[in-house]
Structure 1
Amino acid sequence: MKKIIAGLVLFYSITSFSQSVEKKEDNNIYNLAGLDVKPEFPGGLDKLKALVNESYLKAGFQSEVKGKVYSIFVIEKDGSLSDVKILRGVDAVKAKELIRILKSLPPWNPGKQNGQIVRVLYALPLVIGS
């Protein structure tokens, strides 16, 4: 009887005080340089730049002088873009349109670190205008 009671107490203490391992979701934003698999736009960067330029020209900026625009954004785990910012190269109206264009593009193939899909900070220079 003592063995049964001791076994029950031991079993109860193991199940009550054991640590549960929870998998935490990694929401860190990773730098592009240290990734195992870098994010990529379907069709490559040339296709991305062509789509952005085409959409920009269709938005009514055809007469603009050709110029370089610097953008930065986060590629989310689902391939969508967030925190899109235009750092320099155009005024506020054109920057707002470029942000809209970048957010409306097809999703990217996300980056991976240690076999897990992660959020990635991405800087993209664009040549826009005609």
Structure 2
Amino acid sequence: MMKKILFTLFIITQSFLVFSQESVKDSTEIAFIDLETYPVYEGCNENTNDASCFDKKIANHVKKNLKYPEKALNKGIQGTVKVDFVIDFDGSITNITTSGADKILQKEAVRIVNLLPKFKPGMQKGKPVKVHYSFPVTFKLQ
């Protein structure tokens, strides 16, 4: 018998999003503003080079796939998890890390990221680059 608990998921897309990348030849980071072509999420128009479509698709993916962990519900755990990952040269997700909130919520955030599709990688000077992406997932009980 489990109490029905409503929860709200907030994804802050206006701030806290961080893109960076490594060049193909070395690990020098290039400022986001200098990234010539953003990674492309399936369903976004790759010809527009619009990061907002990418952000919206990530937010929708999280909303669609999030399952508030039962242990967190039972213990009343809530909070914000910062998720970081790298979109590699081939568009695959690597180096997933989390911080903040409780480990139970961090584990759920990693599960959601692992469900992301492969992307078309970001480009710099016509070559694919590693792109770092960060976003928060806020778990809140109501």
For normalisation by structure 1, the TM-score amounts to: 0.62
Matches within 5 A, 1:78-97: 78-88=90-100, 90-97=101-108
Unaligned runs of 5+ in 2: 1-23, 44-52
Return the offset for 1:121. 1.5
Equivalent-residue separation in structure 1 for 2:136 and 2:31 (angstroms): 15
Relative to structure 1, is the Cα distance of residues 103 and 120 closer, same or farther in structure 2, using a 3 angstrom cutoff?
A: same
How far off is 1:114 after superposition?
Answer: 0.5
Alignment correspondent of 2:8: none
Q: Deviations over 1:71-120 (max 9, x none)?
A: 111111121111111122x2112212211220221112211010000111
Distance 1:121 1:31, change over 3 A: farther
Within a 5 Å distance, the mapping from 1:114-125 to structure 2 comes to: 114-125=125-136
Give the 5 Å matches for 1:105-116: 105-116=116-127
* 1:28 equivalent in structure 2: 27
Look up the match of 2:56: 46
Q: Which runs of 5+ in 1 are unaligned?
A: 1-24
CA offset digits 1:15-64 (Å, max 9, x no partner): xxxxxxxxxx6363744612111223234322221221332227658957
What CA distance in whole angstroms lies between the structure 1 residues aligned with 2:56 and 2:109?
Answer: 17
Say which structure is richer in helix.
1
Match of 2:66 in 1: 56
Number of residue pairs the alignment of both structures matches: 105
Give the aligned residue type for 2:27. Answer: N
Distance (whole Å) between structure 2 residues aligned to residue 75 and residue 29 of structure 1: 16
| Identity level (%) | 27
Contact 2:39 2:121 survives alignment (8 Å):
yes
Q: Root-mean-square deviation (CA), in Å?
A: 2.9
Structure 1 distance, partners of 2:94, 2:88, is 7
